[in-house]
Amino acid sequence: TKAVNAKYIMKTDDDAFVRVDEILASLNEKNIKQGLLYGLINYDSEPHRDPESKWYISPE
């Protein structure tokens, strides 16, 4: 495994539109000296059971 020396790392879905300029502006406003994690936790989510759904999960 090769370690990458990066200031920021982002993970997103392949169909997400990312406003990199807005993200960088937000990050630059903060005085970050150690790690920072942005995210969203959906506490009341349920599996998608509609076979037509992009996020379909079978009951098995």
Q: How many domains does the chain have?
A: 1
Q: What is the pLDDT of residue 57?
A: 95
Residue 1 has pLDDT above 80, yes or no: no
Closest alpha carbon to 20 in 10, 34, 31, 33: 10
Domain that holds residue 57: 1-60
Residue 53 has pLDDT above 80, yes or no: yes
pLDDT digits (tens, 9 = 90+) for 7-48: 888 888 888 999 999 999 988 898 888 888 888 888 999 999
List phi, psi (to 5°) of 26: -65, -45
Q: What is the pLDDT of residue 30?
A: 86
Q: Are 15 and 8 within 8 A, CB to CB?
A: no
